[in-house]
Amino acid sequence: MVYQPACGARDILPLDVARQRWLEQRLERVFQSWGYQEIITPTIETLATLTAGGTVHPETVIQVQGSSGEPLGLRPELTASIARAAVTRMAGRQLPQRLYYKTNVFRRTTVAELGNQQEFFQAGVELLGATGLAADAEILWLVQECLGALAVKEAYLLVGDAHLTQQLLSTFPAELQKIVRQCLANLDRVSLQALSPPWGDRALALFDLRGTPKEVGERLAQWSDVAGVADRFAELQQLLGLVAESLSITLDLSLVQSFDYYTGIIFEVLIPTATELRLVAQGGRYDQLLSIYHPDGVSVPGIGFVFNVEALLQAIAIPSAALLAPRSQWLVVPRTPNALAAALHHAQTLRLDGSTRVELSLLDLTPEQIRAYARDRQIPYIAWIETDAPPQIEALSDGATYLQIQSV
């Protein structure tokens, strides 16, 4: 029997780990430079926490059974868990709270998607306790700076507004609102065309509410009788005027996210590759989510975004230096069994600066086999250790070697 990872899971080998760490470290530096602090929440949460009052669909959660019989699940995203922690464990702290994370999440694969990935890595932020233009602008600026830190030269920002879109959906009969919303989420234009008049034409008009702010404003005129639409659209224009520095921005009022807790701006970031536009990040405002977890139901505003690490790695160029898995600089070899203690001490001495990587030779090999091992691992130096003699240092370079005696 050949053992493989579970369906939807995968091993991440050292070279890919080096690439992922390179990316995460650069994002983390940007998060910290804006005053965000790292938070770690449990991998397993109660199902009630993960479904966030029904705004996260239970079928997306990989469920497990706890010892108490309480239904539990693996987190499909981080916002709900952070919202729970913020109003319970962090209650009473000065607002706003700026939090970031870099971790894995899990989402159930449907039968039709059997074999698809179910574990994903994410890095993102949550800004809690602040609302208005300044907070929204901070998040979008932070997205821009992260992309700059990764040397992304071209990216597209797709911006919508969950509240404004819901206002437009409210003009449809109640029995059609969910259908139209699902079609928007699935980019299903064909089903919208099949709706009976006049709702089919109106739904298609909503589906096409994307473009420059000027273009969308002109198309939005047919909804001018809907209360609040003009004011909210003006606020969106003001926000986009603050962030259109390095991103190509498209306003899309048909944009619908898979999680239903968004209440304000929502957005996606796409990076062009040789074959497609790849979705690498998404986020938005959720001003009612924290009230679900607050003991007194108090609302605390929030906004955040998440980078999908795997998608980002596939979309950007990683410097060649990051493609090299970290290697050891030294191989310490005890020449005899009695020299093991001296070899351990010498290896520890080499590690004292905190940055030198040192391996201890563990196998019973000939000197030539040891040199071949070192060359295969690209280890430049071997320290040969005897019990009562200074270490012999051998440098390996292009197949040549030389020895020198070093005092302990």
Checking if the pLDDT of 149 tops 90, the result is: yes
Domains of the chain: 14-170+226-321 (3.30.930.10), 327-405 (3.40.50.800)
pLDDT digits (tens, 9 = 90+) for 118-129: 999 999 999 999
Question: Does the pLDDT of residue 405 top 70, yes or no?
Answer: no
Q: Which residue has the higher pLDDT, 6 or 164?
A: 164
Which tens digits make up the pLDDT trace of 129-142?
999 999 999 999 99
Q: Does the CA dihedral 129-132-135-140 come out positive or negative?
A: positive
Instruction: Note the pLDDT of residue 114.
Output: 47
Q: Are strands 248-252 and 277-285 parallel, antiparallel or unpaired?
A: unpaired
pLDDT reading at 366 higher than 50: yes
Which pLDDT value is given to residue 134?
96
Interval 78-88 mean pLDDT: 94
pTM check: above 0.85: yes
What local confidence, expressed as pLDDT, does residue 408 receive? 39
Q: Quick one: pLDDT band at residue 50, thresholds 50, 70, 90?
A: very high
- Amino acid residing at 175: E
3-state secondary structure the chain: CCCCCCCCCCCCCHHHHHHHHHHHHHHHHHHHHCCCEECCCCCEEEHHHHHHHHCCCHHHCEEEECCCCCEEEECCCCHHHHHHHHHCCCCCCCCCEEEEEEEEEECCCCHHHCCCCCEEEEEEEEEECCCCHHHHHHHHHHHHHHHHHCCCCCCEEEEEEHHHHHHHHCCCCHHHHHHHHHHHHCCCHHHHHCCCCCHHHHHHHHHCCEECHHHHHHHHHHHCCCCCHHHHHHHHHHHHHHHCCCCEEEEECCCCCCCCCCCCEEEEEEEECCCCEEEEEEEEECCCHHHHHCCCCCCCCEEEEEEEHHHHHHHCCCCHHHHCCCCCCEEEEECCHHHHHHHHHHHHHHHHHCCCCEEECCCCCCHHHHHHHHHHCCCCEEEEECCCCCCEEEEEECCEEEEEECCC
User: How confident is the model over 13-36, as a mean pLDDT?
Assistant: 94
pLDDT: is 407 or 365 the higher one?
A: 365
Structural tokens at position 224: 């001018």
Q: Residue 304: what pLDDT?
A: 97
pLDDT score recorded for residue 244? 67
**CA atoms of 71 and 51, how far apart (whole Å):** 12
Please determine, for residue 54, whether its predicted confidence score (pLDDT) is greater than 50. Answer: yes
- Please state whether the peptide bond connecting residue 319 to the residue before it is cis, i.e. omega within 30 degrees of 0: no
Contact 303, 119 (CB under 8 A): no
Q: What is the pLDDT of residue 113?
A: 53
Which residues lie closer than 8 Å to 88 by C-beta, 6 or more apart?
A: 293, 295
Residue 97, burial from CB neighbour count under 10 angstroms (0-12, 13-18, 19+): buried
> Out of 25-34, 209-218, 253-262, 340-349, which region has the weakest mean confidence (pLDDT)?
253-262
Mean pLDDT of 216-235: 89
User: Taking 90 as the threshold, does the pLDDT of residue 186 lie above it?
Assistant: no
